[in-house]
Amino acid sequence: MRSYGQFCGLAKSLDIIGDRWTLLIVRELLIRGPSRYTDLRIGLPGIPTNLLADRLRDMEEAGLLRRDMSPAPAAAAVYVLTPRGEALETVIAALGRWAAPLLEAPAKDDVFLPHWLVLPARLYLTDRAPRKPPVRIEVRDRDQRVTLEAANGRVTARVGPADKPDAVIIGPTPLAWQLLLAKIDLAHARKAGLAVEGKPAALKRFGPLPRQ
Amino acid sequence: MRSYGQFCGLAKSLDIIGDRWTLLIVRELLIRGPSRYTDLRIGLPGIPTNLLADRLRDMEEAGLLRRDMSPAPAAAAVYVLTPRGEALETVIAALGRWAAPLLEAPAKDDVFLPHWLVLPARLYLTDRAPRKPPVRIEVRDRDQRVTLEAANGRVTARVGPADKPDAVIIGPTPLAWQLLLAKIDLAHARKAGLAVEGKPAALKRFGPLPRQ
DNA sequence: CCGGATCCGGGTTGATACTG
DNA sequence: CAGTATCAACCCGGATCCGG
């Protein structure tokens, strides 16, 4: 990207992360941790492969990520955020919070990959019963699994299956998201194609943050 | 800007503010308040005039700003941030903080307009003597003036001349900034072309934030 | 001078094909 | 799997022009 040539923090940061796709690549690495080229490509539907390669080069040069060779047996290159790259989480959180009103309406043609639940779960969901014992649920869409946990008043989320989940939501991610935000109720969700196994009451532990 | 087509807060926000120059226009409006087209152009050195016009249209359509006609006598159009546009201050602050390490070294070919001091002053400077009475200084570069105030442990900043300043720094903005950050001392700054009127001790009230 | 509109060359992006 | 190559379409930058 061409520099703005302005001695200003905002302009300097945009010089580095203002290119198209760059912040989305950081998002993927924040959510999934060290990732291979192909995993990044899958997590970024629509990205031209040459741009992904270009960006990864630029971002390595800018000190946002490192390209690591994983240990001997499987010689796969993985991309890993540096601390400097991880520090962009605050920026992504600010953008995510600003965009909250745009996520109320359900997606239309938008792609919604299950693992993207991780960031909004952290940003927009709250634990509605902080005093009660922790609750863990799994969201499953095809073979993708995401684990959400409500404990001590906080919601955490990560990619991967849950260990002994209290409930499992199975079906299209957009529906699961609507259900967690309490935009639709369980009966409606089931009619629309969602299955819930385990204790549906566990879902009530999650809800939208109060309007800021 | 073409949409990413992803149901994700980050992607949605970038759909709106990811275009080149857009966030810098927000910066100008945050710093200067309601501004005319020409003022924006001056505050954004390097922007092609057609792009500024395009962006202002896009941003109005996106609900980030309004175009207001000022009252009858001087029929000047001014651009004003909507609350939605003002809410981007948190995003700009996050980007500014992330960029802090990039602003330690002095600018080279970079442009440094005086009014840009306002944001970094708020973000990077601290009041070193919260208990003492407030201190107000003016930074003057050619005919541009910026007012900084340290009071009750906080630093505030705005465009315009200061009322009864305790000190006035006159000269190139980059030098003034270095001085405020305590990167250079007063003697060095004077030798490099900076003049300080009033009580130079007032400058000691300002200093860099401790390393986060 | 203010507030743009128009035009054009070059760089970036998007889509797809191809390769070690 | 992990990219490179190619090419069209689009966006950006720079310059010029124009009506109040």
* Average pLDDT over every residue of B37-42: 96
Interface probe for B, chosen from A3, A6, A88, A110 (most Cβ of B below 10 Å), is A6
The residues near B43 (Cβ < 8 Å, ≥ 6 apart) are B28, B31, B32, B35, B113, B115
* Strand D atom within 7 Å of B209 CB: no
* Average pLDDT over every residue of B179-207: 95
* Longest Cα–Cα distance in chain A: 57
The residues near B58 (Cβ < 8 Å, ≥ 6 apart) are B19, B22
How far: B46 CA to C8 C1' (Å)? 18
A152 and A184 fall within a common domain:
yes
How far: B4 CA to C15 C1' (Å)? 15
Dump pLDDT digits (tens) for A79-106. Answer: 999 999 999 999 999 999 999 999 877 6
In this complex, the nucleotide whose C1' atom is nearest to the CA atom of residue A20 is: C13
* Strand D atom within 7 Å of B14 CB: no
Q: Is residue A109 part of a domain?
A: no
Cα–Cα separations (whole angstroms), residue B153 to A204, B30, B124, B206: 43, 23, 13, 10
* Strand D atom within 7 Å of B49 CB: yes
* Average pLDDT over every residue of A135-149: 96
A78 and A140 fall within a common domain:
no
* pLDDT at residue B76, rounded to an integer: 78
* Average pLDDT over every residue of A30-35: 96
**DSSP H helical segments within A44-82, as ranges?**
49-61
Q: Residue B70 — very low, low, confident or very high, per pLDDT cuts 50/70/90?
A: low
Residue A147: beta bridge partners? Answer: A138, A158
Residue ending a domain, among B103, B137, B156, is B103
* Average pLDDT over every residue of A161-175: 96
Q: How many domains does chain B have?
A: 2
CATH code for the domain in which residue A58 is found: 1.10.10.10
Q: Which amino acid belongs to residue B179?
A: L
CATH code for the domain in which residue B154 is found: 3.30.1050.10
pTM above 0.85, yes or no: yes
The residues near A108 (Cβ < 8 Å, ≥ 6 apart) are none
Dump pLDDT digits (tens) for B129-151. Answer: 999 999 999 999 998 999 999 99
B137 and B90 fall within a common domain:
no
Dump pLDDT digits (tens) for B16-27. Answer: 999 999 999 999
Q: Give the H/E segment covering residue A30.
A: helix A22-32
By three-state DSSP, how is residue B197 classified? Answer: strand
* Strand D atom within 7 Å of B5 CB: no
Dump pLDDT digits (tens) for B108-122. Answer: 789 999 999 999 999
* Average pLDDT over every residue of B194-210: 94
- The pair of structure tokens assigned to B145 is 């003036």
Q: Is residue A55 part of a domain?
A: yes
Structural domain boundaries, residue A177: 114-208
End-to-end CA distance of chain B: 35
How far: B53 CA to C6 C1' (Å)? 13
| Exposure of B30 in the CB half-sphere (CA atoms within 13 A) | 26
Q: Are A137 and A148 in contact (CB under 8 A)?
A: yes
* pLDDT at residue A116, rounded to an integer: 97
- A212 has a pLDDT exceeding 60: no
By three-state DSSP, how is residue B83 classified? Answer: helix
Q: Residue B1 — very low, low, confident or very high, per pLDDT cuts 50/70/90?
A: confident
Nearest partner of A90 among A44, A123, A43, judged by Cα: A123
* Average pLDDT over every residue of A107-131: 93
Say how far apart CA A3 and CA A19 lie, in whole Å: 11
